[in-house]
Amino acid sequence: MRKSRVTFAASMLAAAALTLAACGGSDDSSSADAGSEDTAAEETVEETVEETDDGEAAEEEAVDTADGPFEVYALLPQGNDQPYGTTYLPPMEETAAELGINLTITNSEYDADKQASECEVAVAAQPDGIILWPAVADSIRPCLEAANNAGIPVWITNADVNPEDTDLTFGYSGTDSYGQGAASAEMMCEFADGAEIGVIQVNGLTGNSVATLRGNGFKETIAELCPNVTILAEQPGNWNKDESQIAASEMLTSVGPDNVQGIYAADDTMVAGAIDAAAAQGLDVDGLIITSIGNTFLGNPLVESGDLDGTVFQSSSWDGENAVRGIYAAMTGETDLGRDDAGSVLYMPNPKVTAQNYDDPAVAPEW
Amino acid sequence: MSETAVVEDKQQVAPPEERQAARILKWTSENGIFIFTAVLIVFALIFVDGFSSLINITDVFHRAAPIGIVAVGMTFVVISGNYLDLSVVAQVATAGVILIAVSNSYGIPLAILAALAAASLFALVNGTAVGVFKANAVIVTLSTTFIGLGLLRFFSGGSIFFGPPDGPIRAFGLGKIGPVPYSAVVLIIMTILLSLLLNRTNFGFLVKSFGVNEQATRLGGTNTSLVIIGAFLVTSVAAMVGGFVLAAFSNTAVSNDGVGYEFEALAAIIVGGTSVFGGRGSIYRTFLGVIFVSVLTNILVLFGIGFGYQQVALGVLIVLAVSIDALGRKVSKR
Amino acid sequence: MSQTQTISLGSAAQEGVWGRIRTVASRRTEGRGLALLAVIIIVVALLEPLVFTAYQVTLGRIALVGIVALGLTAVILMGELDLSVASTLAVSGVIMASIPDLTLGIIAALATGLIVGMINAFFVSVVGINSFIATLGMLFALRGLAFVISDEAPVSLTNKDVGIAFGQPLIGPLTPRILIFVLVFIAIQVFVSRVKAGREFFAVGGNRQAARDAGIPVTRRIFTGFMISGFVASLAGVINTLERTTADPTAGSTVLLASFAAAIIGGNYLKGGRGSIVGTLIGAAALGILQVALTLSGVQVPVQQIFIGVILLVAVTTDPNSLRSVAGSLRTLRQGRAKSPGS
């Protein structure tokens, strides 16, 4: 037993020595081969790590010049694990390269504790700025305070913090999920035109902040603007087309398909599933009022074909790009702490997309 | 003289009521899943409006099919005493993405080949680590989940892939025989095939005996590593088919499909009566377990019960089902 | 005349300091974890020294997973599993935040952990269900309960200032979370190594029937173990909720499998009977340092995932048992080939 342990220790040290030696000659982009997961991935990662470190070392000397390369941490709750995040990242990285910013990106997968830990790491790294997309707005204040105490400007993207915390930030760019839900509700009200109708509601992943905000935005706006519309049932579709289809179908069965004149889903992927469900139940999809959010590659064709009556455009590229522009403005002193400056709040418009404007290039789908 | 008295004491039979109760409990634990499923369906037919409509039966099948296919495959790993295969999540998503992404550009046959290759790779890594290196299956499959999802996201970029609206994949997803969608037909066929594999082949026998007594199987001279790799291969192929079926149903695929499948499949397997200790169990029981869980969820949604309560119900159900099984086994030992 | 045969004594019987050290060392299970930790520390120190210069951040990350992992180890030593810790964490936090009075909330949250532990232990020892399944059911049920109580949305603390103060460094740069983590480690380590009831955990895990025959109250030990695990999980929930100033019903999902990984890397056997709390500490440290280093390195997130997966896989397939069995299989293979027909 002792012998194998010594062997193991020796081989681990040898492996470490080898990887360190490999770091000497870097380059190549990390295209990890599926076949040789072990060594390829390790070596590639080590190489990339070595690269970044060399880059960082060089930057630290130049960081004090006004427009010198900036170090920025982007604390995000999604990335390549979601379609939106996937199309949010490239414009972000492009804009960063353009403005001379080195981005370090994290993905906390909507886990508030993980994001808080990543925030601590970011603050310890003493970057020039932090881009923050809160996983859970209610729990982000300690992170903001820590960044402020360290003198690091924070720019919020996509999902804003609570009103009482805005003074700790340098600005915000993005949409607001509540507003998206409200916009979708406004369209529903418009199309309902005073008639007494029943609708079913398909929500996003339970407990997810975007899902909660959109859901509340829709419900409360309906109650306020057109109480003639009744929400008969609501279930989560978990941002998935298949789960949404089953949930919608079961809701239709539960309340009786004849009682339903409208469907709302929190995003286009789910509404596509709901539409399939309605069709399978024998309902006339054209006759139903169907609204959702996103105007995605899946949703836009549905608006064109008339199945989807209205959706709200959300531009992931605008979002990613302006997150970087925002932090740049904060780092170069164009905007200050708090939301009083002119450029400190950039709202992504929530343009409604209907049969009238679906082919307008301004709202061309991106994700 | 006194000895005979002692022997007589030991052979004293329990009172008739106790024996009856023990017999009932034992019978329930062994056949519980059949009864519960039957009771549930009858309950639903009577009390839940719209349950028996054709559309709803189809919905139940749509619910059951992808997770059922994964579960009947994973039963092999469970019966071999290796707890579960956490990486089915990554495998379902990978198979779906490969199917849609590759078939869009290169056609379906190549997509299936690519998916098979991926499934085999998963099975090889899982099976070797657990079978040859004797590492713990929970941690091994956890690590392959990380690796698998990381690779998937790296190569697919996290994008959502769509199949053509009039392609064969979509047609498969929409097709059905009466109220039974094609995906459920696939589930039924797989259940039959895998059951034959488990009960009629030498391989299946070895999987079961490995679960009952690892040492004995090894001493018997078989190459147990191959048996374990085989068990994981069955699971991987099943996960691949499950991923195909899922992708066909929605005609889309994305890297976060199949979330939660690993525990849901395990729950169905256990509720069906297969023991986590390994050795005992059957594919038909898993099939019933899946139907039971699907019908239950369907009923809860039809009643308009929120997600939180659904989770509570599922958890209570699992514990209840296994309690009855455990009590039955305890009692039968007496 | 028969030859006198001499028996040479093994290393265990050797006198002297080295002999005794070797004996002790061969019985310990943390060797692998220690080796992995050493490698990680060396590599990280060279590539991302910030991980160590900003050590309070790294300690905080280690504490995040480590607290739950330590409690979990108590259960693993007995050969059982506790999957419900993630949901216990979430539901405790939600309960605490739902009660306006902070002290009462904390007490209620910790009591929840103890009660969950008792329920788990009841199903495992009295009803006789396999702990994997029992705690899996509790994982679902408690998560659902957290959603129901919180109405599926985060619940804010009534007194947010206490929460913010809780996140501030208390002694030097160390926050209360790190200090509590150290206290929990000391408490459980002392319990398992010095207190008789704790030491018996190993016996319960190693051979339950023998433990019973030896007079150990196995059922009571199982109750204690699960209650420790539940209590520590709810403690983690309280800490997280205070630091975040909000309770999130979806919390804990990443902690569950990470704690298992920490315990396994540290050398604990899932079948029970062997392992140590120190080992879990080592495992948590290795994982924590690795995670922080990867975040700082700016490597793409999917690649980070692959990296952690590979390390985990290598760590779990290279323990002495595994290597021995591979060597054995190779030997049998060679022996089989060596035998030629007709020799």
B212, B279 Cβ separation under 8 angstroms? yes
Distance of CA A56 to the CA centre of its chain: 27
Tokens read off for C46: 């060279």
Give the mean model confidence (pLDDT) for residues C119-139: 89
pLDDT tier for residue C12 given thresholds of 50, 70 and 90 = low
- Are residues A156 and A339 in contact, defined by beta-carbon separation less than 8 angstroms? no
Distance between CA C69 and CA C260 in Å, rounded?
A: 7
Question: In 10 A of CB C27, how many CB atoms?
Answer: 10
DSSP, res A294: B
Instruction: Residue B175: count other Cβ atoms within 10 Å of its Cβ.
Output: 12
Report CB contact under 8 Å: C54, A139. Answer: no
d(CA A230, CA A232): 6
Residue position matching structure tokens 């690796």 = B147
Average pLDDT over residues A109-136: 89
Find residue A262's DSSP bridge partners. Answer: A199, A289
Closest by alpha carbon to B82, among B224, B190, B201?
B224
Contact B139 C260 (CB under 8 A): yes
Nearby residues of A6 by Cβ (< 8 Å), 6 or more positions away: none
CA A158 to chain centroid, in Å, comes to 7
Mean pLDDT over residues B289-298, rounded? Answer: 88
From chain A, the residues in CB contact with C245 under 8 A are 138-139, 141-142
Asked if the Cβ–Cβ distance from B308 to C308 is below 8 Å, we say no
pTM for this model (two decimals): 0.81
**Does ipTM come in above 0.90?**
no
Q: Calculate the CA dihedral of residues B207, B211, B216, B222 and round it to 10 degrees.
A: 20
Q: Residue ranges per domain, chain B?
A: 55-333
Residue-level pLDDT at A14? 43
- Find out whether C325 and B132 touch, Cβ atoms under 8 Å: yes
**Distance from the Cα of residue A227 to its chain's centroid:** 31
What residues form DSSP beta bridges with A103? A72
- What's the angle, vertex CA C334, arms to CA C333 and CA C335, rounded to 5? 95
Mean pLDDT to the nearest integer, A244-265: 90
* Residue of B252, B297, B305, B311 best to disrupt the A interface, most CBs of A under 10 A: B252
Determine the pLDDT at residue B268.
86
Q: How far apart are CA A173 and CA A346, in angstroms?
A: 4
- With cut-offs at 50, 70 and 90, classify the pLDDT of residue B194: very high
Tell me the C-alpha to C-alpha distance, in Å, between residue A230 and each of A234, A255, A311, B198, C72. 11, 12, 20, 52, 48
**pLDDT tens digit string along C308-339?**
889 888 878 877 667 777 777 777 767 765 55
Helix (H) or strand (E) holding C98, with range, is helix C85-98
Instruction: Kindly state whether B91 is in contact with chain A, defined as any CB-CB distance less than 8 angstroms.
Output: no
pLDDT value, residue C95: 95
Give the sheet arrangement for strand A310-312, strand by strand. A229-236, A197-203, A262-265, A289-291, A310-312, A352-354
Q: What is the mean pLDDT of residues C272-280?
A: 89
| pLDDT, tens digit (0-9, with 9 covering 90-100), for B65-93 | 999 999 999 999 988 888 788 999 999 99
Please give the pLDDT value at position A117.
87
Span B125-153, average pLDDT:
89
| Beta-strand pair B161-162/B176-177 | unpaired
Q: How high does pLDDT run on average in chain B?
A: 83
Tokens standing for C45?
């120190």
Contact: A81, B58; criterion CB under 8 Å: no
Q: Indicate if the pLDDT at residue C223 is higher than 90.
A: yes
Give the model confidence (pLDDT) of C71-123 as tens digits: 999 999 999 989 999 999 999 999 999 998 889 999 999 999 999 999 999 99
Taking only Cα atoms into account, the Rg of chain B, rounded to an integer number of angstroms, comes to 22
What's the pLDDT at B307?
82
- Mean pLDDT, residues A170-179: 86
Alpha carbon dihedral A238, A241, A242, A246, in 10-degree steps, equals 70
Name chain A contacts of B125, Cβ cutoff 8 Å.
37
In this structure, how many other beta carbons lie within 10 angstroms of the beta carbon of residue B167? 17
Q: What percent of chain A has pLDDT over 70?
A: 81
Please tell me the distance from the alpha carbon of residue C178 to that of residue B257, in angstroms, as a whole number: 37
Contact predicate A178/A159, CB 8 Å = no
pLDDT attached to residue B92: 94
Out of A79, A235, A246, name the one closest to residue B59 (CB). A246
Shortest alpha-carbon distance between residue B138 and chain A (Å): 19
Q: Which of residues 78-107 of A touch C (CB under 8 A)?
A: 79-80, 102-107
Please name the residues in contact with B182: beta carbons below 8 A apart, sequence gap of 6 or more.
B172, B173, B175, B176, B248
How many interchain CB pairs under 8 A, B with C?
Answer: 162
User: pLDDT confidence of B163, banded at 50, 70, 90?
Assistant: confident
Strand positions, DSSP E, chain B? 161-162, 176-177, 180-181, 252-253
Taking the C-alpha atoms of residue B58 and residue B179, their distance in angstroms, rounded to an integer, is 5
**B166 class by beta-carbon count within 10 Å (0-12 exposed, 13-18 middle, 19+ buried):** exposed
Instruction: Look at A254 and B302 and tell me if their CB atoms are within 8 Å.
Output: yes
Phi/psi of residue C257, each to 5°? -75, -30
Nearest CA in chain A to C58: A121
| C303 CB within 8 Å of a chain B CB | yes
What pLDDT does residue B173 have?
Answer: 83
Q: Give residue C184's pLDDT.
A: 94
- Mean pLDDT of chain C, nearest integer: 85
How far is Cα C229 from Cα C74, in angstroms, rounded to an integer? 7
Sign of CA dihedral B92, B95, B97, B100: negative
* CATH top class, domain B55-333: mainly alpha
User: Does A40 lie at the interface with B, CB-CB under 8 angstroms?
Assistant: no
- Smallest Cα distance from A165 to chain B, Å: 30
Distance CA A69, CA A128 (A): 9
Compute the distance between CA of residue A360 and CA of residue A362 in angstroms, rounded to an integer. Answer: 5
Contacts of A356 (CB under 8 A, 6+ apart): none
Answer whether residue A68 shows pLDDT above 70.
no
pLDDT value of residue B277: 67
Q: Which secondary-structure segment (H or E) carries A290?
A: strand A289-291
| Rounded alpha-carbon distances, angstroms, from residue A52 to A59, A90, C297, C300 | 10, 19, 7, 12
Helix axes C131-150, C85-98, angle to 10 degrees: 30
Instruction: Test B263 with C308 for CB contact under 8 angstroms.
Output: no
pLDDT digits (tens, 9 = 90+) for A13-61: 444 443 433 333 333 333 333 333 333 333 333 333 333 333 343 334 3
Among chain A residues, CA nearest to C55: A124
DSSP B144-211: HHHHHHHHHHHHHTT--EE--TTSHHHHHHH-EETTEEHHHHHHHHHHHHHHHHHHHSHHHHHHHHHH
Number of separate helices (H) and strands (E) present in chain A: 11, 12
Q: Report the b/e string of B144-157 with b at 16+ CB within 10 A.
A: bbbbbbbbbbbbbe
Residue A149 in tokens: 């105490």
Q: What pLDDT score does A25 carry?
A: 30
Going from the C-alpha of C110 to that of each of C71, C227, C233, C241, the distances in angstroms are 14, 10, 9, 13
pLDDT, residue A33, reads: 33
Mean pLDDT of C297-304: 84
* pLDDT given for residue C76 in this prediction: 92
Contact assessment for residue C205 and residue C77, using Cβ atoms and an 8 Å cutoff: yes
| Residue B202, pLDDT score | 87
Which residues in A lie closer than 8 A to residue C290 (C-beta atoms)?
Answer: none
- Interchain contact C126–B (C-beta under 8 A): no
CB contact under 8 A, A80 and B304: no
Q: How crowded is residue B256: how many other Cβ atoms within 10 Å of its Cβ?
A: 21
B270-302 b/e (C-beta count within 10 Å ≥ 16 → b): bbbbbbbebbbbbbbbbbbbbbbbbbbbbbbbb
Q: What is the pLDDT of residue C2?
A: 52
Tens digit of each residue's pLDDT (9 = 90 or more) over B3-38:
444 444 444 566 777 777 777 766 766 677 777 788
**B43-56 mean pLDDT:** 82
Q: Touching check for B34 and chain A: CB below 8 Å? A: no
What is the Cα–Cα distance from C157 to C163, expressed in whole angstroms?
A: 8
Q: Measuring CA to CA, how many Å separate B79 from each of B227, B268, B276?
A: 12, 14, 7
CB distance from C115 to chain B under 8 Å?
Answer: no
Ranking A219-228, B314-323, C83-92 by mean pLDDT, the lowest is: B314-323
* Count of beta carbons in the 10 Å neighbourhood of residue B71: 32
More confident residue, B264 or B18: B264
Average model confidence (pLDDT) across chain A: 79
Indicate whether A207 pLDDT > 50.
yes
CB neighbours (10 Å) of residue A163?
8
- CA atoms C247, C249, C252, C253: torsion sign: negative
Report the share of chain B in percent with pLDDT over 90.
25
Q: How far apart are CA B145 and CA B151, in angstroms?
A: 10
Q: What is the pLDDT of residue A47?
A: 36
The tokens for B15 are 């009172």
